[in-house]
Structure 1
């Protein structure tokens, strides 16, 4: 668990941010890595095996323009089940991006001719470069998936998934829970919304977030069993919770995904889940985190295929 303080250096305690505070926050964000070098170039190479599509572009002024890419099965067949994989909705959650790319490189070929696959590896490229949770307007894309989304990242993915909304069988959204959630992102959220910051506890290990409206517990446990071969599963805390939510099964909590505007709710897929890898654990390496994400995708597809 990380150490955090109640103070955040932008805004006035008890008052929600306005445009001036958002502008000050954005001016403090620093580019740490390159979406084009680390992600788009890998997508370009994978485009030799999959159909690369550009499903949008984000224009962030002086920060640059960011094309949004997805990769899909070359021989799409409406008679086959459709599987959707998303990563990098929160750009700072590195293994969500690189785990999706790893799955495409090492695993996805085994499913050719058996499924339709659509993968959006990096939904939030500006945030990927700045290792941040929000987009440049201080909006969390993973609370913004709806028809009238204020986040360009969410609106573009929403439109990409729209033709698959009724037909998708499975959707897995790849995330991380990090120590910086407590040291930076939750204090910033409290400051942005003019609310008091209440410290939380970061779980050590992998867990899943199912949909409380349709939890599919056997699906969730099949993923947990496969991921456990790669990395450890987060235990419940002393209250029987993970990040403030009751543990409903080993390594699983549930959220109302559509009510919260989460990415996992963008289709009517029977099987939906959100992964949460813990990259700051002393028991995990970056490669383990990427492999854990790939294992989760394999397990999700395999279960969905077996159940139909």
Structure 2
């Protein structure tokens, strides 16, 4: 069954803004927008903490017209990007493009791109930190600055297991996390994803309270309900312990904190 949920924001969202800094036209000018010269649009990206990005990693801006037809799929490095568009109203979204991210055509290609285009990681690629801005409507009529705040679309799951019998090991899988996120911020699909038994794993969020499956020394898998959802931009830390009496793993403590990709990036689990 397909599951969908809009992208969760873990900090107050500074809305994407289009700061118009030149007035257009003159008194009595009723020329249609299509007849005006192209509008120059400078591109600015910010982190979830509100700082202007200084990374050398490429970002991608995707632009849709009023009919939601993709008119631009442009790659740029923060601080140096600019667009040229006809005057009009558009919907615009900006994202990071980490290695292994699938679904988005190469820069310059617009065919097949829709606002709900599903972005996921290739089957043999590990999920890595991925950021996405809000898809916003922008009206262009003069030289402008488009500012996109990139927020995490992924989350971090951290496990610590204590008390396992000497020589024993455990394997864990996160059950039913979302498999993709659309350019419009809508999550969809379902995927069981292996996670590190001792460390941090970057994951997509879960549609509700998360559940782990685990096995000890290759034994019969058991399910471990976490009781908390894994949300975009959050680090969910689980302190787990082996219960000798019942021969099972139990949760000792659950902690949820904010997570900014790059500040403890996490160990990617294998998707094989």
Calculate the TM-score normalised by the size of structure 1.
0.23
Structure (1 or 2) with the larger CA radius of gyration: 2
**Higher fraction of strand:** 2
**Higher fraction of helix:** 1
Calculate the TM-score normalised by the size of structure 2.
0.25
